[in-house]
């Protein structure tokens, strides 16, 4: 019941922030539209699959057109009373800039550390010219600083704070001289420990995102590898294994592929439900980054989100489609205490600055916008420190 409720809410709970800069001046913070308009409109109506539905949908009814235009300009769009209440009438919005010397520091990860109320993001580009590439944004004092780990981390991307062991798990991309690796960072000592980097001697494909969960008292790392050649360029050579979702059993110390590219062409974001029994994986089925706007109209791709049950052995089973992404790409994914999920595309138009990921931090929604983060203070808590499996 929880699961089907989560599915409905995820569709209903789209958050839309037009442009992080413009957004803070939006005339309306929250506009609630009838959810019926998502599937039933008076004829004639017209919409372009290349653009978001609010940007491009018109009907023969001026009242509906005005409401859509108003929603298109507002920071949050709600399709249910529950989501309107969650956002609150006028969510406080503030920004925190990347620190000096670390431009474009806020793109991937989005890891909330409840003890210190900071959010860690990783950089935007694969050519980031800094050896330290995690930035901490303090939600207490609104400042940002680079996280200096030992040893330095060069190419981290996705991250997850696992509160059972108090460690932050990161994926590291491969580089010319280093394989993709899953590492942990102890937020207290900033000490880095490598966990895995290969399968039977073959380096993993570039690791994109990671989540850690507990099923039947056993802890498992789930990670996505992502090796789309044209997107990432020659610096990151394609390895022999294709893209896959892998699982590492932290008790038995066994690494296994659990979802192949036959099921998900390019697994990217990955998270579990609050009860630890549903795994969500985004599918970034792009082969040409210049054609982001054509994703949904190309039947050879499936730019989408999948869900799987995690069975008693912690294996993903019963994979099924959860949602299609209309434009842009399916990237980072987070799930709140109530099993509600947020996805990339509603937050932002497809043009720059790109948004890859975000964090849920208590009652705050923290969106990475390349050179700064946007912090929305909502009316209700999304995640609480005591909730161990959503982050
Ligand atoms: C937003 O408001 C600020 C001042 O409150 C103003 O300087 C800025 O130009 C406004 N931006 C837009 C896009 O209206
Ligand atoms: C529908 O919108 C497209 C552009 O998005 C436009 O080319 C077309 O003429 C429109 N059709 C109608 C009937 O308004
Ligand atoms: C939606 O907002 C964007 C950005 O402000 C604007 O360019 C576009 O024309 C708007 N679309 C509609 C249908 O109002
Ligand atoms: C236009 O849509 C609104 C909202 O659904 C509805 O109340 C109204 O009757 C419609 N107007 C016409 C002329 O159909
Ligand atoms: C909005 O957030 C900022 C930064 O956290 C804070 O300084 C300010 O007091 C908040 N304003 C309100 C009205 O809560
Ligand atoms: C990064 O580390 C490498 C190896 O330690 C060093 O040669 C290089 O100068 C460092 N680059 C920067 C920008 O600090
Ligand atoms: C903000 O808080 C962090 C701890 O979360 C601390 O490391 C940093 O020095 C503080 N910055 C300022 C400007 O107070
Ligand atoms: C759909 O995507 C595939 C793979 O990128 C590409 O080869 C094909 O040309 C695309 N088709 C259209 C109609 O854009
Ligand atoms: C909105 O649609 C127009 C075409 O009608 C397009 O030029 C523009 O890029 C779109 N904006 C967004 C934010 O999708
Ligand atoms: C966002 O708004 C600012 C201020 O109006 C503008 O400079 C910037 O180009 C806009 N970015 C996008 C992606 O529309």
Burial of 371: CB neighbours in 10 Å, binned 0-12, 13-18, 19+: middle
Helix, strand, or coil (residue 38)? helix
CA pair distance 50, 111, nearest whole angstrom: 31
For the CA of 73, the closest atom of ligand 3 is 2
Name the residue of 19, 20, 51 whose CB sits within 8 Å of the most ligand 9 atoms, as the mutation to test its pocket.
51
Q: Which class in CATH covers the domain with range 96-390?
A: mainly beta
Ligand 9 centre from 219 Cα, in Å?
A: 44
Residue 144 has phi, psi (to 5 degrees) of -130, 145
Predicted pLDDT at 154: 79
Cis (ω within 30 of 0) for the bond into 44? yes
Please tell me the residue having the least CA distance from ligand 8 atom 4.
287
Closest CA to 368 of 30, 17, 14: 17
For the CA of 51, the closest atom of ligand 2 is 5
C-beta of residue 382 within 8 angstroms of C-beta of residue 391: no
Predicted pLDDT at 233: 53
Residues in the chain: 391
| Cβ of 55 below 6 Å from ligand 2 | no
For the CA of 19, the closest atom of ligand 1 is 13
Burial of 322: CB neighbours in 10 Å, binned 0-12, 13-18, 19+: buried
Q: Which ligand is nearest to the CA of 138?
A: 7
Q: Which ligand is nearest to the CA of 265?
A: 8
C-beta of residue 344 within 8 angstroms of C-beta of residue 305: no
Please tell me the residue having the least CA distance from ligand 10 atom 10.
19
Positive or negative torsion for Cα 147, 150, 156, 161: negative
Tokens of 18: 């037009």
C-beta of residue 84 within 8 angstroms of C-beta of residue 29: no
Provide the 8-state DSSP code for 297: G
C-beta of residue 18 within 8 angstroms of C-beta of residue 29: no
Q: Which ligand is nearest to the CA of 90?
A: 5
CA pair distance 78, 74, nearest whole angstrom: 10
- DSSP string over 46-114: E--TTS-HHHH-EES-HHHHHHHHHHHTSSEEESSHHHHHHH-SS-EEEEEEPPTT-TT-BSEEEEEET
Burial of 234: CB neighbours in 10 Å, binned 0-12, 13-18, 19+: exposed
CA pair distance 71, 351, nearest whole angstrom: 19
pLDDT by position in tens, the chain (length 391): 222 222 222 222 222 233 334 444 445 678 999 999 999 999 999 998 878 888 899 999 999 999 999 988 888 888 999 999 999 988 888 999 999 988 889 989 999 999 999 999 998 776 666 767 899 999 999 999 999 999 998 789 999 999 999 999 999 887 777 888 999 999 999 999 999 999 998 888 888 999 999 999 999 999 998 766 555 555 556 666 778 999 999 999 999 999 998 888 889 999 999 889 999 999 887 656 556 666 666 666 678 899 999 999 999 999 999 988 877 777 888 888 887 765 444 455 434 467 778 899 999 999 888 888 989 999 999 988 766 666 6
Name the residue of 40, 43, 61 whose CB sits within 8 Å of the most ligand 4 atoms, as the mutation to test its pocket.
61
Please tell me the residue having the least CA distance from ligand 3 atom 9.
55
Q: How many CA atoms lie within 13 A of 310 on its CB side?
A: 24
Give the DSSP H or E segment for 53. helix 53-56
Closest CA to 76 of 60, 93, 59, 100: 93
Please tell me the residue having the least CA distance from ligand 6 atom 5.
131
| Cβ of 48 below 6 Å from ligand 2 | yes
Instruction: Provide the greatest CA pair distance for the chain.
Output: 63
Predicted pLDDT at 2: 26
CA pair distance 57, 23, nearest whole angstrom: 20
| Cβ of 63 below 6 Å from ligand 4 | yes
Ligand 3 centre from 202 Cα, in Å?
A: 48
Please tell me the residue having the least CA distance from ligand 6 atom 8.
131
Provide the 8-state DSSP code for 274: T
For the CA of 286, the closest atom of ligand 8 is 5
Please tell me the residue having the least CA distance from ligand 6 atom 1.
131
Helix, strand, or coil (residue 224)? strand
Q: How many CB atoms lie within 10 A of CB 386?
A: 8
Tokens of 139: 């939600």
Residue 292 has phi, psi (to 5 degrees) of -55, -35
Which part of the chain has CATH 2.120.10.30?
96-390
Inter-CA distances, 178 with 132, 174, 198, 279, Å: 15, 6, 11, 29
| Cβ of 148 below 6 Å from ligand 7 | no
Ligand 2 centre from 159 Cα, in Å?
A: 42
């Amino acid at each position: 019941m929880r699961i089907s409720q989560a599915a409905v809410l995820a569709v209903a709970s789209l958050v839309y922030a037009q442009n992080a800069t413009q957004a803070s001046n939006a005339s309306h913070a929250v506009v609630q539209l009838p959810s019926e308009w998502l599937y039933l409109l008076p004829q004639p109506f017209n919409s372009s699959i290349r653009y978001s539905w609010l940007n491009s949908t018109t009907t023969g009814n001026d009242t509906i057109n005005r409401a859509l235009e108003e929603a298109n300009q507002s920071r949050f769009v709600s399709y249910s009373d529950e989501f309107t209440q969650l956002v609150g009438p006028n969510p406080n919005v503030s920004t925190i800039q990347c620190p000096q010397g670390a431009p474009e520091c806020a793109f991937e990860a989005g890891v909330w550390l409840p003890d210190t109320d900071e959010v860690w993001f990783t950089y935007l580009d694969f050519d980031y010219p800094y050896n330290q590439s995690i930035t901490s944004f303090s939600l207490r004092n609104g400042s940002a600083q680079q996280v200096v780990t030992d040893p330095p981390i060069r190419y981290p991307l996705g991250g997850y704070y696992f509160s059972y062991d108090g460690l932050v798990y990161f994926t590291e991309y491969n580089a010319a001289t280093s394989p993709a690796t899953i590492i942990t960072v102890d937020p207290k000592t900033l000490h880095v420990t490598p966990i895995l980097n290969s399968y039977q001697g073959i380096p993993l494909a570039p690791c994109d995102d990671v989540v850690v969960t507990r099923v039947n008292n056993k802890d498992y790392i789930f990670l996505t590898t992502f090796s789309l050649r044209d997107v990432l360029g020659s610096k990151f050579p394609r390895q022999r294994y294709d893209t896959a979702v892998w699982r590492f059993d932290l008790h038995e110390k066994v690494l296994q592929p659990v979802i192949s590219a036959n099921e998900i062409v390019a697994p990217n974001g990955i998270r579990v439900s609050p009860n630890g029994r549903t795994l969500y994986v985004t599918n970034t089925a792009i082969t040409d980054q210049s054609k982001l706007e054509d994703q949904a109209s190309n039947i050879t791709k499936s730019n989408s989100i999948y869900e799987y049950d995690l069975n008693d052995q912690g294996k993903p089973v019963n994979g099924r489609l959860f949602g299609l992404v209309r434009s842009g790409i399916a990237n980072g994914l987070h799930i709140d205490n109530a099993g509600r999920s947020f996805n990339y595309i509603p937050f932002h138009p497809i043009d720059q600055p790109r948004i890859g990921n975000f964090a849920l931090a208590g009652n705050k929604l923290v969106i990475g916008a390349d050179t700064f983060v946007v912090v929305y203070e909502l009316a209700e808590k999304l995640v609480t420190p005591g909730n161990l499996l959503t982050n």
